[in-house]
Structure 1
Amino acid sequence: MKLRRLPADEPAVRRYVEELWIPFHHDLEAIVDRHALAEDVDLVAEETAFRLDRLDEAGYRAWVAVDDSPTDGAGNDADLATTDGDFVGFVTTEIDEASSVFDRPDRLVVGDIYVREPYRGTGLSRRLIDRATERAREAGCAELALDVDADNERAIGFYENLGFETHRRRMTVSTADL
């Protein structure tokens, strides 16, 4: 199993969207209503374009876990778009720089983390968090932060076991209700 950085390359990003990002949101949709995907858009095209824009941002990174990722004849990793390896998980991160007026360190925010069902419980989630931690250290960030859906008890338990603590709650309301 290899963790590979997702390049800002349309075929690789399209494969990531089709094989990981959409299944991730379908899995979340089953337990969290707020993750329902729109039905009247081309999900692959829209998300591919969105991810390509994000990958061009300096502080944003995504890594894909690839099972049985072959190399080319020279020992280099095969192209993510065409590798025969299975995409089995991913993590996205973004740097949150603190303004000098705040007494807090820069943080690396884990945007999304996902592991396909057959790979859950194998330690892959921990490897993805370790990769995010490595990125945080490389970027000079002293903390990792993330949002987790209140209904996602499995994820909450995983994060708490790693030592994450709740510091804030995000609350929402429809403007029509106010």
Structure 2
Amino acid sequence: MNVVRLVSEEAAVRRYLEELWLPYNREFEMLLDDFALAEDVDIVAEELAFRVDRLESAGRRTWVAVDGAPGDVDLATTDGELVGFVAATLDEAPSVFDRPDRLLVTDIYVRESYRGTDIARELVERARTWAREVGCDELTLDVDVGNDRAIAFYEKLGFETRQYSMTSNVDG
């Protein structure tokens, strides 16, 4: 299993979107209204333009787990199967706050047939490595309150609940 960084090459990003990002969001779409995808747009084309630009940012990274591809992997052309990904964003603390810089894991996904393996652990470790490289003292993430399997997994990796995110309709 290789874990490689997703670069802002259009063909690689398109493959990532089609084989991992879209299935990830389709799964969540079935579970949560907040993840409903638009029906009147070309989702991959819209996300491709958005994602390629974001990958150029120094404070964002995405890594992809590839099964069946040895060595340095070109995500656009490899015969290996794309089986999971982790995306992270640097959250630097403004100088007026007494808290460490954090690395926020914004998305993590492993194909169902690969769940229960060490792939998710490898992906989180890749984010931890980058956090150390950029001087972050904390790794943080959000998880859906009903996702008991993910919560248990993150707790085994040392994550602790520090706050709750709450939502309300603006009309009360």
Unmatched tracts of structure 1, length 5 or more: 72-76
Equivalent residue number for residue 45 of structure 1? 45
Unmatched tracts of structure 2, length 5 or more: none
Out of 145, 148, 151, the residue aligned to residue 153 of structure 1 is: 148
Equivalent residue number for residue 74 of structure 1? none
Contact map agreement 2:6 2:61 (CA 8 A) in 1: yes
**Cα deviation code 1:110-158 (max 9, x no counterpart):** 0000000111001111010110000000010000011111122211111
- Alpha-carbon distance in 1 for matches of 2:130, 2:17: 22
- Alpha-carbon distance in 1 for matches of 2:148, 2:32: 11
TM-score by length of structure 2 reads 0.95
TM-score by length of structure 1 reads 0.92
Equivalent residue number for residue 126 of structure 2? 131
Equivalent residue number for residue 58 of structure 2? 58
Query: Which range is displaced more, 24-33 or 7-16?
Result: 24-33
SS of aligned partner of 2:82: strand
Contact map agreement 2:66 2:80 (CA 8 A) in 1: yes
Q: Does 2:104 match 1:109?
A: yes
Map of 1:19-30 to 2, 5 A cutoff? 19-30=19-30
SS of aligned partner of 1:145: strand
**Cα deviation code 1:17-73 (max 9, x no counterpart):** 0000000011122322321211111110011111111101111000000001145xx
Q: Does 2:114 match 1:119?
A: yes
Equivalent residue number for residue 79 of structure 1? 74
State the Cα RMSD in Å: 1.2
Equivalent residue number for residue 164 of structure 1? 159
Q: Which amino acid aligns with 2:85?
A: F
- Alpha-carbon distance in 1 for matches of 2:87, 2:52: 13
- Figure out how many residues of one structure are paired with residues of the other and give that number: 172
Q: Percent identity?
A: 62
Contact map agreement 2:2 2:70 (CA 8 A) in 1: no
SS of aligned partner of 2:34: helix
SS of aligned partner of 2:150: helix
